[in-house]
Structure 1
Amino acid sequence: MPLPTVRLFAMDPIDFVIVGSGWRAEFFLRVAAVMPDRFRCLGVTSRDAGKRAALEATWEVSAYATPEEMLNATDPLYAISAVSWDANPDVIKRLAGGGMPVLSETPPAPDVDGLIDLYASVKGAKVQVAEQYHLRPMPAARLATIRDGTLGEVSQAQVSAAHGYHGISMIRKCLGVMYEPASISACAFACPVVAGPGREGPPAAERIIESEQHIARFQWDGKLGVLDFDGEQYFSGIRNNRYLIRGTRGEIIDDTVAYLEDFKTPVSLTYARQTTGDEGSLDGNHLVDIRLGARQVYRNPYAPARLSEEEIAIATCLDAMAASVRNGTDFYPMTEACQDHYLVLMYQQALKSGKTVQTQRMPWDQL
């Protein structure tokens, strides 16, 4: 599935509301605050009166006690469900059951039974899931290189950049795999490491923790995916992300692409990020594009807005959801989200049992 098309010029802002007020909800609020001409949050919910007051003061957005109260007072294009794993299925059902298009946070449900029940309940409704990793600029640049045929037929993807369903979604997209059956094996390894930053910021003091690394192997017909992730990788400066993507005519290792110009002429290029705001540039600090040699493989559609790459991906989700509501186009539908979390649950089963697990055809299988 190609990356979603993003609006390149100003239009009326996309109006949305958020059910939930936690850490993930704030990403959507930040994007709307930075680009009010493109995105407008009409409301957010919290059951806590003090938190509602803080949300209104911090983000200048109306806060409501319940989704029903919020939807009675607003007219959004869609609603975002940004609540806990356990609460998410019921929120999606309530919103979709009332005819409201839904952009759900990941994962849509916590377990296999919940995924099956949720899919049956909202099948045919306008529901997409806010999986953002493949929309970040560097992963998007790698996927563009795969799609343009530079690597030939891709048969292997090793991704060490995100946990669970996030990492699996990247593996599937690199390999062009959808719902095909897979054989899965997994192992874990724990080792000591100096604790890095967390969601709350840098550590207050040096502390040695035990960090667990999961390595899961997914084998489809003629294709291999390896998910390798250590829980400290998200924020640590000493646990870096890694990619290896191999095809018949080349490979990507992290930010380097090696490929064949012809059968006897190998070429090696490195992705180059074009940014502004350095040295004499007065254009503000933002990403312009990513190039591979002379080719532009990613262009930031939100320049010159000052966004982190995670926020660029979140903004792309917001735009893509609007296109889905208006045109019926999928960018990460419920079927894919269910499959990716199902694969997580199966690798966790393989990890616990120490045995190879074979996936089964599921109700959301679109093959």
Structure 2
Amino acid sequence: MIEHARAPWVNTSTTTNSAPLPEPTRFALIGAGWRSRIFVDIARARPDLFTLTAVLARRPAAARERLGADVPMVEDLDSLGRSRPDMVVVCLPREVMPRWIEALVDRGLVVLCETPPAGDLSELRALWSRVGDANAVQVAEQYLRMPENAAALTVSHSGLIGAPTSVHVSSTHDYHAVSMIRGLLGAGRGPATVRSHRRTSPLADPLDPDGWTGDIEPRPRTTTLATIDFDDAGVGLYDFTENQWWNPLRQDHLTVRGTRGEIRDGSVVRMLDATTPVTAELRRRRTGEGMNLEGSDTATISLGDRVLYRNPFEGGRFNDDEIAVATIMAETGEWARDRPARDAAAEGPYPLADACHDHAIACAFADATDEPTRVAGEPWMSGRH
């Protein structure tokens, strides 16, 4: 039997397998789309850490078909609240997300909403004006919690490559990429200047969310390049091609440049001393390969003898996205349970203010094709949260 690794947010003085597990995070769910299924599957895989208390969906029969016949369906928000969740996960389109967030906050519930929390800049401002002061909303931005990105984040903030000065992300789109760039730079919610450029070029695109298309004829696909200048906090380069998440002909790239070295994809170069630059690789330990019989899983990511990342859900057989989603769920659950005792200004793992800022910057990509767009003076930038 494979023992589950203890989640890193457990505060315990012992490392034995008999140590108590953390209190499971109780969550309710609104929505039954494909993204909702990920939260349900995580709870099924790790019932020791997550308990699904209720599901509210517009079409209950279809929700049961998609999510499973065993999910606890309810008919309204009052019934959902009576299931006593630590938080409510909201997986709905951005067009309707704000009114659901507001309704839940009005009921005194903690919200973990899918990205983004609203559609455009005016909707972000309106949402913030109504619920920002409550400090009750987290957003399920998971990309910096993916194992390889989390390891890069540790290196970037460790001093190994000095102070980070620029970040290039070519893997995911819009606010996801902005959150990675800001996090890796250590940039706060300060002003930013955005310049962008789009170009359409032919590209074969043989795979989409529905599977292999059988078509390798190049078709027009648009690539967006944007620079984000965070004033004194560094600069980011956003680089994304349509359907890049699925297209196997476009590889993911991540570069973090610092004052004494850089991370380039899985390689780290740094100064060992005043005359000795060295290069080392980020190495992922996977179980279940070859003669290893522990089961297929990610265990650690290391740089030489430094372990940079440990999978907190080892034994769950999660892919990287599932690990990242489970991490933001657990962090939000702990934050929600600690609310009565903690400082009222404690922001949590990825608060609404960060989500608003990252999405506002991403919205500027579309506005900055001819002249630079300045993102500044927004209410979430200078508030107490």
State the TM-score bracket (shorter-chain normalisation). over 0.9
Task: Please say if 1:244 is aligned against 2:255.
Answer: yes
1: CA distance, partners of 2:74 / 2:202: 44
1:7 corresponds in structure 2 to 10
1:101-129 Cα shifts (integer Å, max 9, x gaps): 00011111111111111112112241111
Task: Please say if 1:115 is aligned against 2:118.
Answer: no
Larger mean CA deviation between 281-290 and 227-236 belongs to 227-236
User: What are the within-5 Å matches in structure 2 for residues 177-216 of structure 1?
Assistant: 177-206=187-216, 208-216=218-226
2: CA distance, partners of 1:29 / 1:202: 27
2: CA distance, partners of 1:66 / 1:192: 48
Structure 1: which amino acid aligns with 2:116?
Answer: P
* Counterpart pick for 1:264 among 267, 272, 275: 275
Stretches of structure 1 that go unaligned for 5 or more consecutive residues are none
Give the conservation status (yes or no) of the 8 Å contact 2:121–2:363.
yes
1:32-70 Cα shifts (integer Å, max 9, x gaps): 1111111111222221243133146x2621223433343
Task: Please say if 1:83 is aligned against 2:92.
Answer: yes
1:341 corresponds in structure 2 to 359
Give the conservation status (yes or no) of the 8 Å contact 1:55–1:61.
no
2: CA distance, partners of 1:318 / 1:196: 33
CA pair 30-306 structure 1, distance change in 2 beyond 3 A = same
2: CA distance, partners of 1:266 / 1:211: 40
1:363 corresponds in structure 2 to 379
Structure 2: which amino acid aligns with 1:105?
Answer: E
2:77 corresponds in structure 1 to 67
Query: What secondary structure sits across from 1:305 in the alignment?
Result: coil
1:101 corresponds in structure 2 to 110
1:163 corresponds in structure 2 to 173
Query: What secondary structure sits across from 2:48 in the alignment?
Result: coil
Give the conservation status (yes or no) of the 8 Å contact 1:16–1:41.
yes
Query: What secondary structure sits across from 2:61 in the alignment?
Result: helix
Structure 1: which amino acid aligns with 2:51?
Answer: R
Query: What secondary structure sits across from 1:365 in the alignment?
Result: helix
Give the conservation status (yes or no) of the 8 Å contact 2:206–2:215.
no
1:182-239 Cα shifts (integer Å, max 9, x gaps): 2211001112222232333332544543211110111122421111111221012111
Structure 2: which amino acid aligns with 1:350?
Answer: A
CA pair 310-53 structure 1, distance change in 2 beyond 3 A = closer
Structure 1: which amino acid aligns with 2:269?
Answer: A
Larger mean CA deviation between 63-72 and 107-116 belongs to 63-72
1:315 corresponds in structure 2 to 326
2: CA distance, partners of 1:336 / 1:59: 36
Q: Count the aligned residue pairs.
A: 360
1:169 Cα offset (Å): 0.4
Query: What secondary structure sits across from 1:234 in the alignment?
Result: coil
1:293-351 Cα shifts (integer Å, max 9, x gaps): 11000010111210001000000011110121123451101110000001011221103
Task: Please say if 1:34 is aligned against 2:45.
Answer: yes
1:50 corresponds in structure 2 to 61
Larger mean CA deviation between 249-258 and 180-189 belongs to 180-189
CA pair 167-59 structure 1, distance change in 2 beyond 3 A = farther
2: CA distance, partners of 1:209 / 1:69: 49
Give the conservation status (yes or no) of the 8 Å contact 1:103–1:129.
yes
2: CA distance, partners of 1:24 / 1:63: 17
Stretches of structure 2 that go unaligned for 5 or more consecutive residues are 1-6, 12-19, 340-345
Structure 2: which amino acid aligns with 1:37?
Answer: D
Query: What secondary structure sits across from 2:308 in the alignment?
Result: strand
CA pair 204-18 structure 1, distance change in 2 beyond 3 A = farther
2: CA distance, partners of 1:39 / 1:254: 33
1:253 Cα offset (Å): 0.7
2: CA distance, partners of 1:359 / 1:36: 42
1:152 Cα offset (Å): 0.5
2: CA distance, partners of 1:38 / 1:201: 32
Larger mean CA deviation between 252-261 and 325-334 belongs to 325-334
For the aligned residue pairs, the C-alpha RMSD in angstroms reads 1.8
1:263 Cα offset (Å): 1.7
Calculate percent identity across the aligned residue pairs.
Answer: 30
1:110-163 Cα shifts (integer Å, max 9, x gaps): 111111111121122411111000000000000000111101011111111210
1: CA distance, partners of 2:144 / 2:302: 17
Query: What secondary structure sits across from 1:229 in the alignment?
Result: strand
2: CA distance, partners of 1:39 / 1:267: 43
1:5 Cα offset (Å): 5.0
1:96 Cα offset (Å): 0.7
2: CA distance, partners of 1:53 / 1:185: 45
Give the conservation status (yes or no) of the 8 Å contact 1:29–1:59.
no
